[in-house]
Structures are given as C-alpha cells and as structure tokens.
Chains A and B, each alone.
Chain A
Amino acid sequence: MARGVEPVLDLVDLNVHFESRDGKVNAVCHANLTIGKGQVLGLIGETGCGKSVLGQSVLRLLPASARMSGRILFQGTDILALPQSEVRKIRGQLIAFICQNPAEALNPVLRNGTQIMESVKINRKLPRRERRDACLDLLRSLRFTDPEFCMRSYPLQLSGGMKQRVLAAMGMSGRPSLLIADEPTKGLDALVRGHVIATLERFMEATSSSALVITHDLRFASRICDSIAVMYAGEIVERGPFDEVFGHPRHPYLQALIDSQPDRGLHVLKGSTCSLIDLPPHCRFYDRCPKAVQGCREAHPETVFVNSDHEVRCLRIA
C-alpha cells in the first residue's frame, strides 16, 4: 500500500458494546483496521468473536442497544460523528453491505425485482423506464441466464447462490468504494464457493472498490484476500498482509486455527471463548493458549509490530 494515499477505511480504536439484561456485552474492543484503495481485507475469526458486529458497525446497522466509540474514518470522514441522514446517503451509495445468510437477507414477501429496483432507484437518478433495464443489466453482469425470471420471481424460488448474486446486484447499483461482505460463503455448499469468489471479483472489477470480507473460512480467505486481520473475543490479535501473516503466524490462536484445517491434520483447539460480559483482565486467550506462560496472566497484551506491517497482540512477543 502506497503511503501518503488516504485509506478507504480506517478504524481507529473502535469499541462496541451492547446493553443487555445480563450486563454489558463487549463485542468489539480497541479495534484498529486499515483498508487501502483496491485492497481486500479478510476479517477472520470463529463464531461469536465480534467480526459481524464490527462489519455492521461501519454503517451503523447495529440495533439500538449498541453503543459505539472511537472513529470510523471512511475516506477521511468519521461516520460515527455524522447525523443519521448523512449515514443513510453513504449506505448503498458509497459503501455496500451484503448480509450473511442470503436465505434470510431478502424480504420473502416482495418480488426480487421490486427489491433490486429499490436499490437502483435510490442510487441512480434514472427515469422509471430505464430503471428496469438497469436492473436487468446488473443481473446479466452477474451471470444470470434468465434475468427476467429473476425479476418477477420471489426469493423462495431462487437457490442460495442466486440469492447471493441478487444481494450483490443490489450492492452494485451504486458506485461503492467499499464492499462489506458478511460471511459470504455461509449457508452455501463448498462447491458454490468458487461462484461466490467469482461474484465478489466481478463486483470489485465493476466498481473498483475495496472490500472487507468477514469470514471464518480460511480457504476462501486465502483465495481472495490481500491482507487479513484475525479476531478473538472482540479483539484483533494479528494483522498484516496475507502471505506474510499466513506464512509466519505469530499469535498462538492463528497458529492453532491453521493447524485445525483439514489439510493440516485437523488438530482441534480445546475449550471455548471467554464470556464477553465478564472479561478477564489478562490475555483473553490465556485459558486455551497452548503456549501460555505465567507472565500471560498478569497483564493485558497490547499490539506490537513484528514487521513493518505485521502486528500481533501477544505478551510473549513483546
């Protein structure tokens, strides 16, 4: 990434917590992320680590019980400081968001065409007659063989992969500089993974956007990401260019994650994540860490740079 060029997305000390009946749920703590122009950043982590919350927080899509602090700089502007009406202008137009679970991300009682036309209407100032053609063009660019059928049918008549592409079409209708894809391979067969990659690549080609791809699927990430960030229990524990981080993983969690892959021997990491309400004051990975030492129980690790752009949050490395 060329220095001096403003990053598309820059998260500065982002914190997100939820007020719930059982207490304060700390979903994201002190997150720092940067995505440059044309870059694809993969956000990796297991279920419940907070990656989806982080993704949704960029566009302020979280429920009312969420409290956010820090800065979310999109092309220099802090989204958290904007009034609601300005955020709405960014949504769909400048930042596109594709929900996880395409099966439920489309409104089941409205036709697909209605929902796509809605996006086109907001994002492009076109007269009514041209809107429909624009929708059909979008669908064709995503390799729909029968876009007319797609338009007049309902979501339940489409396969999972097709629904995914409809969501992509809605996202493409603006000219977004950033795409946030939340778990794009979730709920889809492994065979379809290739199609999803193709869809995302087509999207970014058509819009020249950067992307934040949230996933737990390491294989998928390895095929599409330029850089990755690994999350654990709400914190980013390792970050850097993909090849560097994967070639030389430093955080024990990432190492365990890689080892647990089927082609590396399926070595399971025992235990489960700590509670996000009663957070331990020390390293959150301590209870499961195979390389923990006494010092790891005494302090909370901050991030340190291993290389010029490879960061790790681990007391043993410091």
Chain B
Amino acid sequence: MIVLAAVRRIAVSVVLALLIGLISFSVMYFSPGNPAAMLLHYRNPTGGLNQQTVEAYAERLGTNQSFFAQFGDWLTGALKGDLGQSFKTGLPVLQEFTDRMWCTFGLMLYATVLALTVGVALGALSARYHNRLLDQIVRHLVVVNMSVPSFCLGLLFMWVFAIELKLFPSFGYDGAWSLILPGTVLGIGYSGTIVRMTKSSMMDNLGSPYVVTARAKGLTEGAILTRHVLKNVSLPIITLSGMNAVSLLGGSVIIENIFGLPGLGNYLITAIKMKDFPVIIGFVFLMGLMVIAINLLIDMLYALIDPRVRLAANEN
C-alpha cells in the first residue's frame, strides 16, 4: 500500500543520509593537516606547538584512532544530536546551525515563491501568446537571465537599489526587510527555468486529447484551465522546483556572502576558510538532511496530485 512505499522511501533516505555523513566525514578525515594541531592553534594562536600537548588534544578529540572508530564516534554523537563543537567558537555545531538556519530558510522560501510567481506567470503568458511579441521578448529575457551569474545580479541590484537609491540595506541582517533584496536576486535567478518549463508544459497540455474532450463537452476556456489543465501542468513544475530548492541552498551561499547575511552558507564559507572541521562536517551533513527532506516533500506532493504514481506504487 501507500504506507509500504512511504516506509521504503524513508529507509532509502536514511541510507542516503548516512552515506552523505560518511562522505563528508571522510573528506575531512583525508584532508591534509592535523586537527589536533589546528585546534591547539585556535586556542592559543601565538603559542608554539608542543608535541605532548598536541598528542593530549588528539587523545581528547579521538583523532588518533582509526577511521572507523572516529566515524563511529561521530555517528553515535550525531544520532544523539551532538555534532561536536566548533573549533573557533567552542559552541555546539548543532546550535550554530539552528541559530542561522532561519535566515537561510527565509531567504530560500522567499526566493522560491518569487521564482514560481514570476516564472509561472510569464510562462503561461508565453504559452498564450506563443510566437507573438511578448513570447519573443520573454524568450530573450530568459536567455539573458540564465547567463547572468547570481553574484553579478546581486552586486548590480545592491549597487542600484541599496547604494544608489538607498531603498534597502546593503549589508547585514536587520529583520525581514533585509531579506527582500537578496531574496529577489535569488528568485529572479531561478525563474528562467521555470518560465521555460511552464511554457512547454502548458503547450503540451493545451494540445492534448483530454483538452479536446473537455472543450467538446462545452466547458469554458477558464474552466478547462483551472479544473483540467492546472493539475497536469503543475507536475513538471513541482519536480523542477524541487531541483531548484536544492540548488538554492548552494546559491544562497554566494548571496549571503555578498549581502553579509548571517545564514548557513556564509558561516560555512567562514568555517572552510578557517578549517573549522566539526562545523564543515556537521553543516554538510545537516544540509544533506535538508536536501533529503526537500526531495521527500516534493515526492509526496507529486504523489498527492498524480494518481499514476500512487497506483503504480500500489502495484509494486
């Protein structure tokens, strides 16, 4: 039944999460440099590296154990919610994550809503006025949109709206208003693919036999759009939004960096530059969990709308 399919899906997700944890852990494990020495350096930047102290630290951190022992330690900790402490601040990694995740979530949510609104609207209009002036203009705009990297657009918007026009803050986080400009940049960047997908999906659906049947029944064009076409058109857009949401996590890194927002991406960059390993491993793992959660959500939404997926799952 559906329950069985869901359970199987969750099991697969757990395996994936473990895999991501393993990969990120091994990446850090095999990277050059001695974590114990680094931690010591953090605590006492000016002092020298006493070999005994380094070994004592290594003992405490457990970094002189084998790979699997260390991974085991980390994993048991992770399952309990303890992802270690940041080298730099000493605070629990999990706390650093939760402190910052709302900022990033807010940014991602706003960007997604904006991208969908703009993308679906322009895509639907392009389908309606196919090959006319509006469609040509939108098509060219989309090509330009997909060629402008997010940091260029971000800097342009920052310069025009924040610095020259002084409408928005250009740096730092001061409540939701600070998210508007960066969120808009991010959202616009991702709307290009949505425009294209919406247009092609609408044109495919509007030309299909079930629409002819619906018209032959005597339905108005409006009723056909809302009651018949909408659900079918939204299916590929939902899948695309899922993929976009995952990309957005990466895209937010650059935007947070430019606008100085205290989000996950910005902190990760700092951690990478400072070689703050517990943070890097922990953040990558947690972001992996986020990605898995997003994918699960998208799949559930898709199955809700499309009975073919639900019933095929039954048969399996």
Instruction: Give A contacts to B, CB under 8 Å.
Output: 56, 59, 61, 63, 88-93, 96-97, 99-101, 104-110, 118-119, 122-123, 154, 156-157, 167, 170
Contacts and interface: CB of A to CB of B under 8 A. Distances in A.
B212 A156 contact: no
Nearest to A59: B216
A156 B312 CA distance: 10
A156 B308 CA distance: 7
A170 B220 contact: no
A107 B214 contact: yes
B60 interface: no
Contact of B216 (A91, A107, A108, A156): A91
Given A99-B212, A104-B210, A91 B232 contact: no
B313 to A, nearest CB: 13
B175 interface: no
A108 B212 contact: no
A119 B214 CA distance: 9
A61 B307 contact: no
- 7 cross-chain pairs, A with B, having the tightest CB-CB distances, nearest first: A97-B216, A92-B218, A91-B218, A104-B209, A92-B217, A107-B210, A105-B209
A107 B217 contact: no
B231 A110 contact: yes
B307 A99 contact: no
29 contacts: A61-B216, A88-B218, A88-B219, A89-B218, A91-B218, A93-B218, A97-B216, A99-B213, A100-B209, A101-B209, A105-B212, A105-B213, A106-B213, A107-B210, A108-B210, A108-B232, A108-B306, A108-B308, A109-B232, A109-B235, A109-B308, A118-B217, A123-B218, A154-B307, A154-B308, A156-B307, A156-B311, A157-B311, A170-B213
Contacts of B231: 109-110
A167 B213 contact: yes
A141 to B, nearest CB: 19
Contact of B212 (A61, A89, A118, A170): A61
Nearest to B216: A97
Given A91-B215, A101-B209, A154-B307, A107 B220 contact: no
B125 to A, nearest CB: 15
A165 to B, nearest CB: 14
A123 B227 CA distance: 17
B228 interface: yes
Nearest to A156: B308
A190 B209 CA distance: 23
Interface residues of B, number: 23
Given A108-B308, A109-B307, A99 B218 contact: no
A118 B308 contact: no
B83 to A, nearest CB: 42
A201 to B, nearest CB: 21
Contact of A99 (B207, B209, B219): B209
Contacts of B216: 59, 61, 91-92, 96-97, 99
A57 B207 CA distance: 15
B218 A56 contact: no
A43 B285 CA distance: 66
B208 interface: yes
Contacts of A97: 212-213, 216
A122 B219 CA distance: 8
Contacts of B307: 108-109, 154, 156
Given A110-B228, A156-B307, A104 B208 contact: yes
B305 interface: yes
Given A108-B308, A156-B308, A170 B217 contact: yes
A127 B210 CA distance: 26
Contacts of A154: 307-308, 311
Contacts of B218: 88-93, 122-123
Contacts of A123: 218
Nearest to A102: B209
A128 to B, nearest CB: 17
Contacts of B215: 59, 61, 91
A118 B216 CA distance: 12
A192 B235 CA distance: 33
Contacts of B214: 107
Interface in B212-244: 212-220, 227-228, 231-232, 235
Contacts of A93: 218
A182 B169 CA distance: 63
Nearest to A101: B209
A90 B307 CA distance: 32
Contacts of B305: 109
A158 to B, nearest CB: 12
Contacts of B210: 104-108
Contact of A63 (B207, B209, B311): B207
Interface string B234-271: 01000000000000000000000000000000000000
A59 B213 CA distance: 11
Given A88-B220, A106-B213, A122-B218, 10 more contacts: A59-B215, A88-B218, A91-B215, A91-B218, A97-B212, A99-B209, A107-B232, A110-B227, A118-B217, A157-B311
A132 B189 CA distance: 48
